[in-house]
Amino acid sequence: MGGLPDEWLRFIDTLSAGELDERLRERVVKAIADIVDSGGGSLWLRDDASLYRTTSQWQSSSTKEVLTENSSIIEFMRERDWIVDLFEYTRSPGLYDNLDIPESILSLKDAWLLLPINFHSNLLGFIILNRPRSPRTINWEDRDLLRTAAQQAGSYLTLMQTTRALLEANQFEAFNRLSAFVVHDLKNLIAQLELVVKNAERHKHNPEFMDDAVNTIGNAVNKMSKLLAQLRKGRFEIGNSKEFYIEEAVAQAVNELYHYKPKPNLTIKSNYLKIVADKNRFTAIMVHLIKNSQEASQSEAGRIDVTVEEKDGFATIEIDDDGIGMDDNFIENRLFRPFETTKGNAGMGIGVYETREYIKSLNGSMSVRSQRQVGTTFTIKVPLEKGPVEMTSENNSDSEAVL
């Protein structure tokens, strides 16, 4: 064996020569095998069911044998953390207190050493090393180096497993959040359709109502189709970020909710407030916030004032209501957490959280003032873009409007 520093550096180089993915398992076998000039080996790891099975091999045969935690060989390695020399075991099993090693392992071609892999006294698995390329025995220095290398490999394998578990948890969390946001959007669409059904009997002979009803249903179908596509893909579609006038998007949100009570009042104090964002997404979060104010209202005669103006280079939107309000504890600890709400079963507490995250992605900010039984004021600030916007039918607004 070469000098200890050289062996250790080669071992670390092999372990770290790649990503923390499934290929690490093969690198672990190779790195440890090289320490004693082994011709190959296989790695056994414990799975979620606490069963030990082959997970990787390098220049070696393997077996489909599965070992339980109470098998003789697993208990031996867990309790003693001792390297088993299979050649020695075959000649003198008594040296290992009559340890029972499965015949499937003993019959593996060239199998030589069983090396436990522990991490914080936890047996992650073990490596079966093949016989060395040239005849040799292992001494105490070899055993100490192998055990140290196995502990280091254990830390790498644990990090890989933890990283994978975290990734899977994040994926589940992202999909759960996506599902919840989609449910929230569907709730708003259902409310629009319920309003159509509610008024259909009284106004079904009115051509203007029927035109509005068809448009509302068509819009709902389009939105639900997009939401379904997002669920299938497992993510929100990020629309094209384009320049548009923010007051036009806010007016669109107010108009969408103007048939509900209390009716929102829109005042535009500054016009041509150009921002760059996904207009559809921005309009949707405005709908969420205004709808939340309507649902938090204490009566149909309540007040909801929506104001748009320029302040210090920012487009500023203020949504002020006299609804049920929130106390300081709720604002500080629960308001901006998903799924928290003051409206019981009426809401899912998603819109505010999603709005803040989206506004932050635009380099903007969101603040809230509220008092129980008095009302709530949300203030959103988004940095303005400089320069003119090409005027289209979608980019028109009055200098001041009150709905």
Domain-located, residue 219: no
Which has more confidence, 374 or 175?
374
Q: How many CB atoms lie within 10 A of CB 210?
A: 14
Domain assignment present for 191: no
Query: What's the total number of domains in the chain?
Result: 2
Q: Is residue 288 domain-shared with residue 401, that is, in the same domain?
A: yes
Looking at the fold, whether 23 and 156 belong to one and the same domain comes out as yes
pLDDT at 344: 45
- 388 and 289 belong to one structural domain: yes
Question: Does pLDDT of 264 surpass 90?
Answer: yes
What is the C-alpha separation between 373 and 200, in angstroms, rounded?
Answer: 35
Percentage, residues of the chain above pLDDT 90: 38
Share of the chain above pLDDT 70, in %: 82
Do 403 and 254 belong together in one domain? Answer: yes
User: Residue 100 is part of which domain span?
Assistant: 4-166
- Whether 162 and 250 map to the same domain: the answer is no
Same domain, 394 and 291: yes
Shared-domain flag, residues 142 and 37: yes
- Whether residue 1 is predicted with pLDDT greater than 60 in this model: the reply is no
Mean pLDDT across 169-175: 63
Has residue 359 been placed in a domain? yes
Q: 307-364 pLDDT, tens per residue?
A: 999 998 899 999 999 998 888 888 887 787 755 454 544 444 456 777 888 899 899 9
CA distances to 83, 145, 348, 391 from 142, in Å: 11, 5, 61, 78
140/22 same-domain check = yes
Average pLDDT over residues 60-88: 92
pLDDT band at residue 211 using 50, 70 and 90 as cut-offs: confident
Give the pLDDT score at 168. Answer: 67
Tell me the CATH number at 81. 3.30.450.40
CB of 385 closer than 8 Å to CB of 276: yes
Residue type, 175: F
Last-in-domain residue among 125, 144, 166: 166
Residue 178 within any structural domain of the chain: no
Whether residue 187 is contained in a domain is answered as no
Note whether 256 and 388 are same-domain residues. Answer: yes
Look at residue 204 and tell me if it is in a domain.
no
Residue 385 has pLDDT above 80, yes or no: yes
Residue 324 counted as domain residue: yes
pLDDT score, position 75: 93
Q: Which among 110, 135, 166 is the end of a domain?
A: 166
Beta bridge partner(s), residue 308: 268, 317
238-256: pLDDT as tens digits: 456 789 999 999 999 998 8
Confidence label for 183 from pLDDT (cuts 50, 70 and 90): low
Residues 244 and 162 in one domain: no
Q: Would you say residue 198 lies in a domain?
A: no
Residues 153 and 252 in one domain: no
End-of-domain residue from the set 111, 134, 166: 166
The CATH number for 356's domain is: 3.30.565.10
- In order of 314, 360, 380, 381, 383, the CA distances from 363 in angstroms are 11, 5, 11, 9, 7
The rounded distance, in Å, linking the Cα atoms of 318 and 307 is 5
Pair (156, 247) in one structural domain: no
